[in-house]
Structure 1
């Protein structure tokens, strides 16, 4: 509803409230007096459920704030599968306050398999809240509407208690979570101002759905604010009456009755959830009802005995009949039985065809006043029973809306043939309209635009026509002018509507968010968007700045502020944590979390609730909660598996939200949005209240310069995903798209570091697209692009490896003068090796130990660094003491680097090889099990050593000798230990050694082999995710912020010695100038080569003829292949004639096949002899039909 609607219905509620807050507003005789006491907040009035206006208004306002906390917004839809009860009335009031569209549906529709019937309203509307009566209805709803609850933000069970978030359902009673959301939502709901009233009057406030019409297509009847106000203006309303409503809650009579009653402070009485004559009579007598609202069958049952009817219902002053066919004389009979002077039949609905007319029929003059609307996509039958004066001769009784005869339709179409209409098997013609229309006082249709624009040939699918957007509404253009045709029928001519005045149409679920793969054109659009993200920026668009960054900077400020500093990170983290804890109480595997049932019950509601296209921190907050849940599972044994499930749920939600960001944002702007989601830096305590303890101690000025970058330590979502090992998240296509763009250098940003050895923080760059054409030729920032750094690091390692080999091949073989001084090669190796080790140290400090050790060869680099430091220390000590022995020992230690550097070269050249990925993980498992084994078998070693010391006549064996024998037995190499065991003890020694052989050689080796085999099989099963995880690690670690990485070894050692003192002696601006100059001078050839390469190959060329062709020699060579034609067919674009033919077929294929299930279309066509619209032969038959060829029977279409 809108604020305009508040001026009619909701303001009518407040009018009744002003009449008397303590007056009775609602009486439910079938509900107990204490029902919903927690929501009302006060004691009920009577024995049955009796609420005053004050109580009902307070309860509705409190619950409105609660539902706003669930993300419900103005313009959403509330669907109530409820009988006539207090919860129905409460939902009606909340809908008025929150400006929602109120849709009451028959709760009995959930008890039968009526999915196709009820799927129409739920699929069409942007449903936010669903109210059901009990748990059985909740189960049925989940089963029937598995694919129709994407937009549902809140599902409520009203009449039974359920566990919190049971299958996504909650109770109506307010709980602690309700209060939390209410406090986050604000003090009161947002309302429109007076300036919005004009537009608000034309918005849909209430929708009534009917069934029993065309097969599987119930039609909705939307009521705008203007309709409701017009319908109520002539209603005879008496204050302080009590309206006894016996119609179902989904009936139009119930809706009208409660609005009329609450407008003047009257009371509404619900005698029961279902109709009962005895309960009705008792309610009238007990509560002194003054007006009866019922359906024709109910009135007939009540007046079977007129004497009893008059005796028991003597207090009634008037009655109303609605909701079906009124038998002739029934109103007069009821009037005579009650001896009342006023009776009416109102809210007459053209059953099933999407038209709701409000008419007040007076028994004296039979005046007809009708105002109504036609639902978008409603099917209106064309009838010929219209008189010469244009008046409809019969209405409502047959459940049809009579527009006019064929002559009238002919006038609308300006000569179009009748075959453009749909004709059913009975020969009846149907007109399909996509736009709103109203009925005037004469019962004629007032359309909002020319009807010929509304009609579509019968080749178009109903789903495609239902989704056609509503055009701008111009009330002046809809004024009909009556004309007489040759047949004497009166028809209506229309003028083209003015586009200046806009009247919004009914929102549906397709307008909430763009749907990918909804049609062929949508699929092509997404493909073009993905291709656009790979292409260079256009010259005619907004140009990049002089640094090559797009979008360009707006000013010359070197340090750009954080664009996301206003996001409530602290609050979002704890909000997500409470939601996840509330949703998951039992352990589930990752596959179970991805199952359809869990997706519908848990994942999708949380996804719709958390996703915000303007908040790029949601993914980061989810991953932070995953880290916390993984940390808790290690020390909360009783919740270990549950916490793992909660961590997996956070990862699944993060992946889904990232994918939704990718779907909702296309083109280069979408690429930037995804980059902001993944590589924007956030601080966990961002926008936390001042009272929150941040857990930081004071820092000195010196440490402040190294540990922070002028702001708090921030983390990116990519970094949090790496340290939490969220491999499925990192393997998602949207994530890999950004990882690849960052790896290639298409996306640039200023990274954050844990510790910078040589920081230069004078300038920072926003997350931007890089245009090498606009950037300077010598751009020092390209040295920290991950792809460029990978090539540079490979070259650096090859140089180190070559110098290592030369040093070891040229070393002195015997202790002598050669060990007392450096050779030329060894000196060069020491200088270069020192720079290489310094860079490795800087890498560890850059992103911390957790991230660095995720690198595939990190442990090898660290091991060689330790070996080099030990060698260099001993070598320098030997030179200082003039000890050749120490110098030789240093070289012997350096020789231990060969087993590390040789595989390190293979790791470096083949980083994505599955063997190396598995080898790294298996070595960790092997090391862990070996340490555990040595620990466990240490007792055997001590026992044998002590036995050896106490034996007379035998030599005492040392720990080293016994360990050697045990090791040989463990690996099955030798049995000397068993032979020598009698020397420990005559029978205890052999017993211990044989027992060790059984346990160590058989049991532990079997466990080791099984563990390593299981590790490898798990890695091989998820090979793609493992490879992409390592790729993400390399990419993230490759983006450096420390200036030290811009200097190649060994120049980084000199830079550290020279530039670090300069940093403390100069201003940041001058240090930045000196630093940039030094980097560009030392790396000028390399920077020039990078600039020339990237200007040609960084982005794909903008070419309408497709991607860049390969070299002609490769094409010539492959042309000799046996399957060359498979590639040649895609070398050129098809000719225009082929494209036109494909477009014709694609138009027939239609949106409905894509959006509503291709498989369903196949199933419906099975067993049928009809020609498929998706068949390649269909255009031929369509052309024959357009020519009027009668060789093909019409029923085959």
Structure 2
């Protein structure tokens, strides 16, 4: 069984194949292509552990074999929730071998997000880490399995309680030696099972590259997280083209410091681009300079990717000692707009070239090129990957605006999807009648085709690269009986770019911020989505059509923040 998705029109799909964008080769090819001359080259480093291309492919094959023995089959779906560990990639390639379609949740996601994803895909398998508080015991896994009877199998990375095992050990499954109890859908615990490794690994199902390989996560503005079906054909093209634009080769060493499931770190060109080129991926648990600088020196890292707030921290740390960055050739910055003043500091202070990246999990990716002028690198977010990336920039009436004029970005192309998963009503507004995706970004296009990001026209906060949907948090705030109105808006922040401010109208003047945060945490909201600031108002400003005037609220909080950042005059001291 294949996953249903909105296809490209047949005539357009045929042109993408004719032009070589779509090769009808599945993404399992990324590892398989290195199994001869590059088999013993180091592919992946995670802490003190490392894998050659041969070992990485073998571990993925063993895990796929174990999953088949458990009863996981092609066409099933999986919920994957892992931190920055090598096992993420082993699971990713193993599931692709089987034709199992995963959602790769961010490790910062919590019960609210994971339950929403499970509700949409009805997974057969969950792959989780005991390092997350949700999986420290059986309570949430049992509840999820009970709510979604399709969820029959659990693999757990890390140590679990002997009294309450969550499921099979992921490490044992990768070795082909499963011996564990596991949760089943009726909330009982099954007996112990053992699967020995089959040295003659089976042949895998023949994959159709036009089918869905996995789901990406939308950073959209609606209350329910939307899923983006990415096919082998469209995603593999984006990976190959990105690797070519970024001049990756077998000597490329990529430090993955941002979360591994992000589209940025997965394919722009990310780990998949480096694997495609035959280079080496080094994993960092988080992007702080204290963690990353020693890894760059130790492994002679040549490239990495950051969001602007992390760049600020790196610049501060490099001012004390940047000698560990000598091997770094270029730094990609994306996820949020990079200010020109910060961009200008990267080359002289970090000693590497800047590459700006503006992309989206839905498809379109833009890069500055290494031979671009200094002005383009410092002031724009690049130009699209493909000549067939079609761009429209329109006004509020949907009419094209002249170049140099801000407008809403619409796009379609050989790696931009055609519809969110199982969301027909939302797709009616997310796409125009010609199949152009409304990205929600406000951009300016230069005369030579480069994009400059101005802001967002969707109701969304970009908190240092992490997208927070206002509607999602507002709905949770309104679940408190004391809150009668709620509006979440972006407020400026010198480090994160944007933070969130919740304006509320309440019947309880004694309602404390700590109680509101406690409520949101109890809802299972990821910490980065919690409002950074909460303002109580007597009444909300309203538009002429009776909606909360968020433009006025954004201006109000921006004025407050600006006033607070101004230096205070010294008080006169009377002698």
TM-score using structure 2 length: 0.57
Describe the SS at the equivalent of 2:27: helix
Shift of 1:84: 0.5
Does the C-alpha gap of structure 1 residues 446 and 76 become closer, same or farther in structure 2, counting only changes over 3 Å? closer
For the 8 Å contact 2:363–2:417, the answer to whether it is kept is no
1:604-615 to 2 correspondences below 5 Å: none
Describe the SS at the equivalent of 1:208: strand
Q: Distance in 2 between matches of 1:1165 and 1:310?
A: 49
Shift of 1:281: 0.6
Residue 152 (structure 2) aligns with: 153
Q: Distance in 1 between matches of 2:129 and 2:406?
A: 39
Describe the SS at the equivalent of 1:172: helix
Residue 439 (structure 1) aligns with: 412
Alignment of 1:28 onto 2:40? no
Does the C-alpha gap of structure 1 residues 160 and 305 become closer, same or farther in structure 2, counting only changes over 3 Å? closer
Alignment of 1:220 onto 2:227? yes
Q: Distance in 1 between matches of 2:311 and 2:54?
A: 33
1:640-1039 to 2 correspondences below 5 Å: none
Residue 423 (structure 2) aligns with: 466
Residue 214 (structure 2) aligns with: 206
CA distances 1:774-796 after superposition (whole Å, capped 9, x unpaired):
xxxxxxxxxxxxxxxxxxxxxxx
Shift of 1:155: 0.9
CA distances 1:58-110 after superposition (whole Å, capped 9, x unpaired):
11111100001222222333322111012212212212322333422122323
Q: Distance in 2 between matches of 1:293 and 1:185?
A: 38
Residue 533 (structure 1) aligns with: none
Alignment of 1:361 onto 2:368? yes
Q: Distance in 2 between matches of 1:214 and 1:291?
A: 32
Residue 137 (structure 1) aligns with: 134
Shift of 1:370: 5.7
Residue 230 (structure 1) aligns with: 237
Residue 73 (structure 1) aligns with: 73
For the 8 Å contact 1:9–1:259, the answer to whether it is kept is no
CA distances 1:151-187 after superposition (whole Å, capped 9, x unpaired):
2232111011455983555453143559965789994
Q: Distance in 2 between matches of 1:230 and 1:153?
A: 34
Relative contact order (C-alpha < 8 Å, sep 6+): which is higher?
2
Q: Distance in 2 between matches of 1:370 and 1:241?
A: 20
Residue 99 (structure 1) aligns with: 99
Q: Distance in 2 between matches of 1:120 and 1:9?
A: 27
Alignment of 1:268 onto 2:275? no
Residue 121 (structure 2) aligns with: 125
Does the C-alpha gap of structure 1 residues 150 and 326 become closer, same or farther in structure 2, counting only changes over 3 Å? farther
Shift of 1:317: 1.1
1:503-514 to 2 correspondences below 5 Å: none
Correspondence for 1:348 among 344, 355, 359:
359
Describe the SS at the equivalent of 2:261: coil
Q: Distance in 2 between matches of 1:291 and 1:282?
A: 14
Does the C-alpha gap of structure 1 residues 246 and 189 become closer, same or farther in structure 2, counting only changes over 3 Å? same
Q: Distance in 2 between matches of 1:118 and 1:259?
A: 24
Correspondence for 2:206 among 182, 186, 192:
192
Does the C-alpha gap of structure 1 residues 332 and 311 become closer, same or farther in structure 2, counting only changes over 3 Å? same
Residue 10 (structure 1) aligns with: 28
The structure with the greater share of residues assigned to helix is: 1
Shift of 1:220: 2.8
Describe the SS at the equivalent of 1:345: strand
Q: Distance in 1 between matches of 2:425 and 2:435?
A: 23
Shift of 1:9: 3.1
CA distances 1:409-438 after superposition (whole Å, capped 9, x unpaired):
xxxxxxxxxxxxxxxxxxxxxxxxxxxxx6
Alignment of 1:82 onto 2:82? yes
For the 8 Å contact 2:156–2:166, the answer to whether it is kept is no
For the 8 Å contact 1:84–1:270, the answer to whether it is kept is yes
CA distances 1:462-505 after superposition (whole Å, capped 9, x unpaired):
x9x8367999xxxxx9588xxxxxxxxxxxxxxxxxxxxxxxxx
Q: Distance in 1 between matches of 2:258 and 2:273?
A: 15
For the 8 Å contact 2:229–2:417, the answer to whether it is kept is no
Residue 300 (structure 1) aligns with: 312
Q: Which runs of 5+ in 2 are unaligned?
A: 3-21, 181-192, 387-392, 437-474, 485-544, 548-575
For the 8 Å contact 1:83–1:107, the answer to whether it is kept is yes
For the 8 Å contact 2:228–2:417, the answer to whether it is kept is no
Does the C-alpha gap of structure 1 residues 298 and 214 become closer, same or farther in structure 2, counting only changes over 3 Å? same
Alignment of 1:280 onto 2:292? yes
1:305-320 to 2 correspondences below 5 Å: 305-308=317-320, 310-320=322-332
Residue 57 (structure 2) aligns with: 57
Q: Distance in 2 between matches of 1:85 and 1:446?
A: 28
Q: Distance in 1 between matches of 2:52 and 2:426?
A: 43
Residue 453 (structure 2) aligns with: none
Q: Distance in 1 between matches of 2:36 and 2:329?
A: 25
For the 8 Å contact 2:25–2:233, the answer to whether it is kept is no
Q: Distance in 1 between matches of 2:24 and 2:98?
A: 10
For the 8 Å contact 2:315–2:349, the answer to whether it is kept is yes
Alignment of 1:108 onto 2:108? yes
1:615-634 to 2 correspondences below 5 Å: none
Shift of 1:279: 1.5
TM-score using structure 1 length: 0.29
Shift of 1:447: 6.2
For the 8 Å contact 2:254–2:280, the answer to whether it is kept is yes
Q: Distance in 2 between matches of 1:173 and 1:309?
A: 42
Q: Distance in 2 between matches of 1:249 and 1:339?
A: 25
Shift of 1:50: 1.5
Q: Distance in 2 between matches of 1:76 and 1:185?
A: 25
CA distances 1:187-244 after superposition (whole Å, capped 9, x unpaired):
4253226xxx4xx32x222323255x53632233332223323323243212122111
* Bigger CA radius of gyration: 1
Residue 439 (structure 2) aligns with: none
1:349-498 to 2 correspondences below 5 Å: 349=360, 355-362=362-369, 363-364=372-373, 368-369=383-384, 384=396, 388-389=400-401, 402-403=409-410, 439-440=412-413, 466=423
Shift of 1:347: 5.6
For the 8 Å contact 1:19–1:265, the answer to whether it is kept is no
Name the count of aligned residue pairs: 390
Root-mean-square deviation (CA), in Å? 4.6
1:1139-1178 to 2 correspondences below 5 Å: none
Describe the SS at the equivalent of 1:18: coil
Does the C-alpha gap of structure 1 residues 312 and 180 become closer, same or farther in structure 2, counting only changes over 3 Å? closer
Does the C-alpha gap of structure 1 residues 329 and 68 become closer, same or farther in structure 2, counting only changes over 3 Å? farther
Shift of 1:53: 1.6
Q: Distance in 2 between matches of 1:17 and 1:265?
A: 10
CA distances 1:841-896 after superposition (whole Å, capped 9, x unpaired):
xxxxxxxxxxxxxxxxxxxxxxxxxxxxxxxxxxxxxxxxxxxxxxxxxxxxxxxx
Q: Distance in 2 between matches of 1:1165 and 1:73?
A: 43
Q: Which runs of 5+ in 1 are unaligned?
A: 30-47, 372-380, 396-400, 404-437, 449-453, 455-462, 472-476, 481-1159, 1170-1192
Does the C-alpha gap of structure 1 residues 383 and 137 become closer, same or farther in structure 2, counting only changes over 3 Å? farther
Shift of 1:255: 0.9
Residue 244 (structure 1) aligns with: 255
Does the C-alpha gap of structure 1 residues 133 and 125 become closer, same or farther in structure 2, counting only changes over 3 Å? same
Describe the SS at the equivalent of 1:324: coil
Residue 449 (structure 2) aligns with: none
Does the C-alpha gap of structure 1 residues 275 and 305 become closer, same or farther in structure 2, counting only changes over 3 Å? closer
